[in-house]
Amino acid sequence: MRKYLVLAALFTLSLGSVQAVTYKLFVHGRSSKNHCGTFNGVNSGTVDVNGYWSGWGYTPNTTNVRYVGFYGEASGGAYSWSNCGAQLQLNQALNTFCTGTNDCEIYTHSTGGLVVSAFFGKYPYTASWYNIRRIQLLASAAGGSELANIANTFLGWTGWSNYGGELDHSVSTSGARNGFNHYQSGGLRYYTTSGIGKDSETFYITWMFLPGYDDGVVANHSLCSVNRVADVDVRCTTGNAMMRESYRCGFLWLSTCYDNYYRWTPFYTVFSGGSSDTHKTAMRDWYRR
């Protein structure tokens, strides 16, 4: 009996020595490059393959960073389960880093927000399978972008994989909004950040194609998680309740009219950076609370 008690004590001590780790998964956005990496254990995913984050001049300054890379032009784009597809890669990352004694924080940029919210929107029952502390969507394209509409409609004939391809189809406003139920998340909350700065990377001309306020790439109807495509000319308000925009209307401008914007309930705005935050610089907002 004493032998078994000693063995049990040693086993308990060995379990106690296992350190739980919180991994920070960084999921990239739209890119013409293949950022696919292999997940074969918790020591994988440490390389920013083809430099999405570092290529923009930004490397997350935190511990236990793991990069979730994928090939955007795989069949299905943001919804792809093909080899190196976005959904398959995310699923493998979740299984690798967010189970057992470990847990995860997930940070996404742009189309990465569509990838993650689509996963739990399509498969909400899986949320209970993983230990997830936080999901934060930076400059989220979960509601799609009119720029992808243009690329998908007018440039698809070129055959160029980075224009009008699979990813642009899925991140168009119709592709993103009709691809899954944005009200479903398996009980998870998506914390979002936004800005309304014009991005020099888009040559300051995209305002002509994006309704309302925008960050140079994505309009506020997506950044603010509004449940319809709309001209949102106010900054994203904190929280997830209805947003209201007031303006003068009626005879001689004597009355005030309102436009109400209802938001998907799992999405919760924590930071609106205003004109100082562009689509590109939003990458640094992962630490906002």
pLDDT one-digit tens code per residue, 80-135: 999 999 999 999 999 999 999 999 999 999 999 999 999 999 999 999 999 999 99
Residue 7 counted as domain residue: no
Q: Alpha carbon of 262 to those of 118, 137, 155, 183, 229: distances in Å?
A: 19, 19, 32, 12, 11
Domain CATH number, residue 225 = 3.40.50
Say which residues have a Cβ less than 8 Å from residue 69's Cβ, sequence separation at least 6: 28, 34, 35, 36, 37, 48, 49, 50, 52, 89
Could you give the CA distance from residue 275 to residue 65 in angstroms, rounded to a whole number? 29
Which amino acid, residue 55?
A: G
Residue 13 resides in a domain: no
**197: confidence class by pLDDT, cuts 50, 70, 90:** very high
Residue 10 lies in a domain: no
In a domain, 257, yes or no: yes
In whole angstroms, what is the distance from residue 158 CA to residue 163 CA?
Answer: 8
Vertex 268 angle, CA 128 and 186, to 5°: 20
Instruction: Tell me what the mean pLDDT of segment 15-36 comes to.
Output: 87
Coil vs helix vs strand at 268: strand
What domain range includes position 60?
A: 21-287
Stretch among 6-20, 33-47, 179-193, 244-258 having the lowest mean pLDDT = 6-20
Looking at the structure of the chain, the number of domains it has is 1
